[in-house]
Amino acid sequence: MRTDKNPIILSTEEGYDRWSEIYDTNHNPLTRLDQLVFFNHFPTTLSDSHVGDLGCGTGRVSNMLAAKGALVTGIDGSQGMLNKARERSPETITYQHHNFASPLPCDDQTFDHVVSCLVLEHIEDLQTFFSEANRVCKPGGMIYLTGMHPGMMLKGNEANFTDPVTGDEVRPKGYAHEISDFVNAIQNSGLKLVEMHEYNGTAALAKDFPKANKYLDWPMLVCFICRANP
């Protein structure tokens, strides 16, 4: 068995294909935190808005947006995650398979808003990713980005799951970025950074997820709110 001292590191795509089998039952504190704060920042009235969800995974955020009236396109590099997303989503959500190493398969200014939740830690070239988000969003649209806070990595944490069959710890490949890497890449991508938030672990979170005890009053989630083509 590979433990957290000796994990199996897979490509992001292969890692999430494997994780997809249990992703929706394998609840984790970071996803809960992301869920709790999302609508503190993102509009709740989205009727007729077209929203792109970059790294949509199994459709957690795409479904939240669709429930608020948005027309959603979810894009992800893991076919396994997309298969699960399609199972849980209404037909109004469109899903596309694509790896962000290449330009997005979307025309300029396709979306009113773009979101990308808990994906940043898997992006090697942040500036290209943000420039593409900017390109496909209409001028003035909101770009909402969240990721694992670099502070979690200082405690040795990376996106990971335990394979229920083998007991191995598996990590889809990630990249350690500093907060300044995010800020500089945003500034150089053409986006305008409007707000940034950092969310710490709390006792309430640790009550539901004992492993979050490690992160009491410690940053877990980073959130960037930007405007496209300002």
Ligand X SMILES: C[S@@+](CC[C@H](N)C(=O)[O-])C[C@H]1O[C@@H](n2cnc3c(N)ncnc32)[C@H](O)[C@@H]1O
Residues contributing to the site for ligand X (CB under 6 A): 12, 16, 31, 34, 55-57, 60-61, 76-78, 81, 99-101, 117-119, 122, 159
Residue of 26, 27, 135, 16 lying closest to 76 (CA atoms)? 16
CB of 111 to ligand X, least distance (A): 16
**Which phi and psi (to 5°) does residue 99 adopt?**
-100, 130
One-letter identity of residue 228? A
The β-bridge partners of 72 are 51
CB of 42 to ligand X, least distance (A): 13
CA torsion angle for 79, 85, 88, 93 (degrees, to 10)? -120
In the bound complex, which residue of the shown chain has the CB atom lying closest to ligand X?
57
> What DSSP assignment string belongs to 160-187?
-EE-TTT--EEEE------HHHHHHHHH
Starting at the edge strand found earlier in the chain, the sheet holding 113-117 runs: 94-97, 71-76, 50-54, 113-117, 142-148, 219-227, 192-200
CB of 15 to ligand X, least distance (A): 8
Contact status, residue 27 vs residue 187, Cβ threshold 8 Å: no
Calculate the alpha carbon distances from 167 to 78, 147, 194 in Å: 22, 26, 43
- Of 44 and 203, nearer to ligand X (C-beta) is 44
- Of 61 and 217, nearer to ligand X (C-beta) is 61
- Of 122 and 149, nearer to ligand X (C-beta) is 122
CB of 39 to ligand X, least distance (A): 14
- Of 29 and 57, nearer to ligand X (C-beta) is 57
- Of 81 and 191, nearer to ligand X (C-beta) is 81
- Of 31 and 73, nearer to ligand X (C-beta) is 31
> How do strand 161-162 and strand 142-148 relate by DSSP bridges?
unpaired
- Of 56 and 137, nearer to ligand X (C-beta) is 56
CB of 192 to ligand X, least distance (A): 23
CB of 218 to ligand X, least distance (A): 19
CB of 99 to ligand X, least distance (A): 4
All residues at 6 or more sequence positions from 56 whose CB lies less than 8 Å from its CB, including other chains: 62, 74, 75, 76, 81, 82, 85, 95
